[in-house]
Amino acid sequence: MAFDGPFPIQPEVAIASYDFFDIAEGTGIKLFNGLAVADHSSIAPHTSQVVKYILSSNNIGSDGVNIFKSGTTTEDDLAFDIDLDLTQFNAPRDIQGTANITVNGTMTAGDPATNHSACFEFILSKWDGTTETPIGTGFSNPGGTVTSGTNTFFLTTPISIAAVNNFKIGDILRLTVKAYTRSSLSTNGGTVKLFLNPVTADEELKLWIPFKIQT
C-alpha cells in the first residue's frame, strides 16, 4: 500500500573524526601536534618574536625561528614551562583513558665532568579561560644523557586520565610541558631544547588523546 503522508525527518548526527579506535574501551584516539604560532596584535617591531603554543590536528609547521623552545639552568631545576592549547570545543566531548605523548630534542651539558639529562612533566588540563583543572599527569624518563657537548633524546610518556572528564562547548584542552635538567651532580645544570615542528622528522611533539565514544 502506498504511503501518502510526510516522511519523517531524521535528526542530524554529529560525526567526530578519529585517527583510530580502541574498541574494547569504546574510545576514539585523536592525534594532535604541538607547534608555535605568531601572537602579535599589530605590525611587529623589528626582530620582535611573540608566540603562543598550540595543539593542532593539522600537520603544519611552526612559525619561523620558533621551531623549538629551550631553557638553561645552573643546577637541577626547571628549565622552562609552556602551555599548548587546543581551540575551543564546539561540541561536548568526554575524555578518559590513557593519553600518550612523544617528544624529542637535545640536552647540552653544563659541566663536561658531569652526566646531564633532560626530564619532563606533562599535565593535561581543562581550561575554561579562567580556571585550569588538571585531568592527568605523566612524567618522562631522563633522556639525552651527555657529559660533554650535546645529545638527542626521544621520549614517550603515558598520561593516565582515570575519571571521565566532560568538556563543554567553549572549554579548551591544555597541555602543560615542564622541562627539567637532571645531573649526577645536582649543582650543575645544562640546556634543554624541545622541538615543536610537526612537518620535520625528529622535530615533532605529538599527543594522542582518548575521547569516549558516545553510543
Number of folded domains in the chain?
Answer: 1
Q: What is the pLDDT of residues 189-211, one digit of tens each?
A: 999 999 999 999 999 999 999 99
Give the model's pLDDT for residue 215.
Answer: 58
In a domain, residue 108? The reply is yes
CATH number at residue 86: 2.60.120.260
pLDDT in tens, 26-72: 899 999 999 999 999 999 999 999 999 999 999 999 999 999 999 99
pLDDT number for residue 5: 52
The pTM of the whole model exceeds 0.85: yes
Q: Which residue has the higher pLDDT, 100 or 185?
A: 100
Position 67 in a domain: yes
* Parent domain of 192: 21-39+50-212
Please report whether residue 141 resides in a domain: yes
User: Are the CB atoms for 126 and 89 separated by under 8 Å?
Assistant: no
Q: Determine, yes or no, domain membership for 16.
A: no
Is there a domain that residue 28 lies in? yes
Alpha-helix residue ranges (DSSP H) falling in 21-126: none
**Calpha distance 171→129 (Å, rounded):** 8
Retrieve residue 172's grid coordinates. 579548551
Q: pLDDT tier at 111 (50, 70, 90 boundaries)?
A: confident
Q: Kindly report the average pLDDT of the chain as a whole number.
A: 91
Inside any domain, residue 147 = yes
The span from the CA of 192 to the CA of 80, in Å, is 9
Digit-coded pLDDT (tens) for 70-108: 999 999 999 999 999 999 999 999 999 999 999 999 999
